[in-house]
Amino acid sequence: DVDLHSQLKELIPEQQERLKKLKSEHGKVQLGNITVDMVLGGMRGMTGLLWETSLLDPEEGIRFRGLSIPECQKVLPGVKPGGEPLPEGLLWLLLTGKVPTKEQVDALSKELRNRATVPDHVYKTIDALPVTAHPMTQFATGVMALQVQSEFQKAYEKGIHKSKYWEPTYEDSLSLIAQLPIVASYVYCRIYKNGQVIPVHDSLDYGGNFAHMLGFDNPAMLELMRLYVTIHSDHEGGNVSAHTGHLVSDFTLSIILLQGLGRDMLMLDLVASALSDPYLSFAAALNGLAGPLHGLANQEVLLWIKSVVEECGENVSKDHLKEYVWKTLNSGKVVPGFGHGVLRKTDPRYTCQREFAMKHLPDDPLFKMVSNLYEVVPPILLELGKVKNPWPNVDAHSGVLLNYYGLTEARYYTVLFGVSRSIGICAQLIWDRALGLALERPKSVTMEWLENYCKKA
């Protein structure tokens, strides 16, 4: 069967049974002890979420439905045999747990193209913002404006039965994933190309089409975009954006654009209400991704590298690089692209981008600098004595690849991350609804509560 929806329909009852069994047979099994350090340390190391689509191992990195990145590169269909994986194939894998055939992926590419239309009011909403607004602000605002179309919201208002929640969530999710490259490329063209937008191509795949709409038709850049979207799609459930999307699907976060009294005004309206639709949830996730310790780090890395070039030139020596790293640290800043909340080794997403660079741009001076940073930064971070993971993460590498193919506008990079992340967040959101996962509401305590508790412990 080439239809993703029918595959999912078949799978859902067996997974619902599986969860029921897990709850009834093992509901009381303990998963670990919570320490005060964990409460004070951003819940690091605390197992507290169910996330079906991917799992992160601290040493080995991410596995999508059990498959590592090199395995995905091997088994997921590409445009040509041996090519980079098509993100649609990954979406299929995340949703069904099965590796799709090329035929299934082609059908999904077509379905996404068919859903790729954006109503006019979305552009007008974005246009109400100053062109100088950060690309992530423009992008998230566009996503909020898309929400007007939500099938889930309409169905909920009509009184849909909870057993059917997953169906309009599926509809919204696929439409949202399909629409995002259009909104994202609109933002790009608005800011950097005087508003000259490029329409959706009528036969290209998802990643290829996105690169095309940004104005890039070099086949290597199209391959890079397929790889980029695939590896940025999902990183289990506890990272800031995925967790926000999952959590906020229990709360409505709406940005309302008011165009009254002759001036534009942006107002943030936080309404507590269960079951926010995929548009609302994903807009919230984007706002989390826009933080510099999370998705914005890809922008920060390239800007940092460019500041090195400005000060020391492209062929900076390792000793000079060391000095620059220390200067960054001594001015109270982080070295962007290094470290991680869970990983304790080099991020395999970094490694596969490094392999891409060695194949396609081995002599690029900025790639050489990234390679030198790989040698120079970890020992310095270790010397600080507090950094738990001195190794590079995904963001340490992505910018120089994009820059090489002409996508040089670093402030835009997190939008690319955002488009990619929709695939993981939406896939899990469909399962959240299919499995009827509980509203998330952990307990918080005060310092006084902790002090009293510890006195008695």
Residue 217 and residue 211 in contact, taking contact as beta carbons nearer than 8 Å: yes
Residue nearest to ligand MLT (CB): 239
CA dihedral for 385, 389, 393, 397, sign (positive or negative): positive
Query: Nearest distance from residue 176's CB to ligand NMX, in Å?
Result: 21
Q: Does 393 bind ligand MLT (CB under 6 A)?
A: yes
Q: Does 422 bind ligand MLT (CB under 6 A)?
A: no
**Nearest alpha carbon to residue 370 among 355, 354, 382:** 354
Q: Does 243 bind ligand NMX (CB under 6 A)?
A: no
Binding flags for ligand NMX, 248-287, as an x/- string (CB under 6 A)? ----------------------------------------
Rounded-to-10 torsion of CA 240, 242, 247, 249? 140
Applying the rule CB under 6 A, the residues between 341 and 380 that interact with ligand MLT are 341-342
Residue 122 and residue 146 in contact, taking contact as beta carbons nearer than 8 Å: yes
Q: Does 392 bind ligand MLT (CB under 6 A)?
A: no
| CB nearer to ligand MLT: pick between 65 and 190 | 65
Distance between CA atoms of residues 2 and 89, nearest Å? 12
Distance between CA atoms of residues 88 and 206, nearest Å? 7
Q: Does 299 bind ligand MLT (CB under 6 A)?
A: no
Distance between CA atoms of residues 79 and 103, nearest Å? 11
- Both tokens assigned to 143: 């996503």
Binder among 85, 337, 378, 399 for ligand NMX (CB under 6 A)? 337
| CB nearer to ligand NMX: pick between 87 and 392 | 392
Binding flags for ligand NMX, 396-435, as an x/- string (CB under 6 A)? ----------------------------------------
| CB nearer to ligand MLT: pick between 197 and 342 | 342
| CB nearer to ligand MLT: pick between 169 and 393 | 393
Catalytic choice (234, 277, 395, 432):
395
* 395 a catalytic residue: yes
| CB nearer to ligand NMX: pick between 297 and 366 | 297
Rounded-to-10 torsion of CA 33, 38, 44, 46? 20
**Nearest alpha carbon to residue 233 among 452, 448, 417, 6:** 417
Distance between CA atoms of residues 419 and 213, nearest Å? 13
Phi, psi of 40 (to 5 degrees): -80, -15
Where do runs of H (alpha helix) occur along 362-412?
Answer: 365-384, 395-404
The one of ligand MLT, ligand NMX, none whose footprint includes residue 387, by CB under 5 to 8 A per kind, is ligand NMX
Catalytic choice (235, 243, 294, 397):
294
Distance between CA atoms of residues 397 and 69, nearest Å? 16
Q: Does 239 bind ligand MLT (CB under 6 A)?
A: yes
Q: Does 414 bind ligand MLT (CB under 6 A)?
A: no
Distance between CA atoms of residues 98 and 89, nearest Å? 10
Residue nearest to ligand NMX (CB): 339
Query: Nearest distance from residue 414's CB to ligand NMX, in Å?
Result: 9
* 134 a catalytic residue: no
The one of ligand MLT, ligand NMX, none whose footprint includes residue 346, by CB under 5 to 8 A per kind, is none
Distance between CA atoms of residues 191 and 186, nearest Å? 9
Distance between CA atoms of residues 309 and 314, nearest Å? 5
Binding flags for ligand NMX, 362-401, as an x/- string (CB under 6 A)? -------------------x----xxxx---xxx------
- Both tokens assigned to 451: 């002090």
The one of ligand NMX, ligand MLT, none whose footprint includes residue 338, by CB under 5 to 8 A per kind, is ligand NMX
Phi, psi of 80 (to 5 degrees): -125, 155
Query: Nearest distance from residue 43's CB to ligand MLT, in Å?
Result: 12
Rg (the chain; Cα; Å): 22
So which residues are the catalytic ones?
A: 294, 340, 395
**Contacting positions for ligand MLT (CB under 6 A):** 235, 239, 294, 341-342, 393-394
